[in-house]
Amino acid sequence: MADSDIPLVSISCLTYNHGKFLKEALDGFLIQKTDFSFEILIHDDASTDDTVQIILDYQKKYPDLIKPIFQEKNLWSQGTRALSATYNFPRAQGKYIAMCEGDDFWTDPYKLQKQVDFLECNPEYVACVHGAHFFDESLNSRVETKFEKVKEDFDLDLFKIFHESGGVYPSCSIMMRNTPPFYPKELLRFPSGDLTLIVFLKMKGKIRFMKGLWSTYRIHANGVYQGENRSIKNIIKNRYLIQEYYSNLSKKLPKSSTRRLLFIFKVKNYLSIMYLKMKILVKPT
């Protein structure tokens, strides 16, 4: 990493009871080879395991790099969402923001450099993402994903985002320009932050998907998505909020594409909600 008082990239990392995984995430940040400086912004949501101690140990070794915030009470359990947008993004000094939660990790030491090089050379792009390996903790092995089949770079479009309900990029892959706002204020309550962010960024400009597998997304029972959103009632609530958001968003889309996009999404969303409601009604015997 190059020496500089002002970092070019701010890494935003959320943690909560990630003690088992966090060292791998932090080491993935520290191995980055760049010709620019970066900072590591960590927000811990009142972890009860050894996460806080691990952060403090790393901060002691790298005081100029690691800048944590420690909550005394867990905000997520109180209904607070958009923790990155609320606590990390406002203090980011970098021209770019890269995201990776404490249970995922970067594997390519040139990941940041390659993404910065692309955005520096392509000012019409507001963000870039890339592929990732997926590691299932319950199986103790990698699982095959669609990202491994990507053979060339491409631009994300709204149709693909709608069609896949936002699951078009690993959350640990995104780098975006530090140009607020990142979320409309009314969406800070939205449970699915990754989806909200990618749609809102797409409305601001172009997003490049880069074919490299430069990180690892971890699947485990205590993950935010695998944990809280495993509740069927939470999934249904999330689906209704997504539907409301997309309906409002449609007013900003070209008329020629609006009907097709919303029709596909609404059908998928309706069937998903009905299926989930049936799961609540029909208990396994």
Q: What is the DSSP string of 187-234?
A: GTT-S-HHHHHHHHHHHHSEEEEEEEEEEEEEE-TTSHHHHGGGSHHH
Task: Note whether 194 and 167 are same-domain residues.
Answer: yes
Range of the domain at 251: 231-281
Task: Note whether 219 and 189 are same-domain residues.
Answer: yes
> Is the residue at 46 inside a domain?
yes
Angle at 195 between CA 194 and CA 200, to 5 degrees: 105
The per-residue pLDDT for 178 is 96
The per-residue pLDDT for 285 is 42
The per-residue pLDDT for 138 is 78
Task: Note whether 266 and 200 are same-domain residues.
Answer: no
Residue pair 162/247 in contact (Cβ under 8 Å)? The answer is no
> Is the residue at 65 inside a domain?
yes
Distance set, CA 31 to CA 38, 46, 109, 112, 161 (Å): 12, 27, 5, 10, 32
Residue pair 172/217 in contact (Cβ under 8 Å)? The answer is yes
Task: Note whether 238 and 214 are same-domain residues.
Answer: no
The per-residue pLDDT for 228 is 43
Phi, psi of 44 (to 5 degrees): -105, 130
**Residue-level pLDDT, tens digit, the chain, 285 residues:** 655 679 999 999 999 999 999 999 999 999 999 999 999 999 999 999 999 999 999 999 999 999 999 999 999 888 777 889 889 999 999 999 999 999 999 999 999 999 999 999 999 999 999 999 999 887 888 888 889 889 999 999 877 776 676 578 999 999 999 998 776 665 565 555 677 788 788 878 999 999 999 999 998 776 554 444 445 666 666 667 766 766 666 666 666 655 666 666 666 666 666 666 666 655 544
The per-residue pLDDT for 254 is 62
Task: Note whether 149 and 252 are same-domain residues.
Answer: no
> Is the residue at 17 inside a domain?
yes
Task: Note whether 216 and 244 are same-domain residues.
Answer: no
Q: Please state the pTM of the whole predicted model.
A: 0.84
Task: Note whether 135 and 240 are same-domain residues.
Answer: no
Task: Note whether 98 and 205 are same-domain residues.
Answer: yes
The per-residue pLDDT for 234 is 63
Neighbours of 87 (CB within 10 A): 20
Task: Note whether 122 and 16 are same-domain residues.
Answer: yes
Task: Note whether 236 and 222 are same-domain residues.
Answer: no
> Is the residue at 2 inside a domain?
no
Task: Note whether 215 and 277 are same-domain residues.
Answer: no
The per-residue pLDDT for 181 is 75
The per-residue pLDDT for 227 is 44
Task: Note whether 96 and 169 are same-domain residues.
Answer: yes
- Altogether, the residues listed in the chain come to a count of 285
CATH of the domain at 39: 3.90.550.10
Say how many domains are in the chain. 2
The per-residue pLDDT for 72 is 95
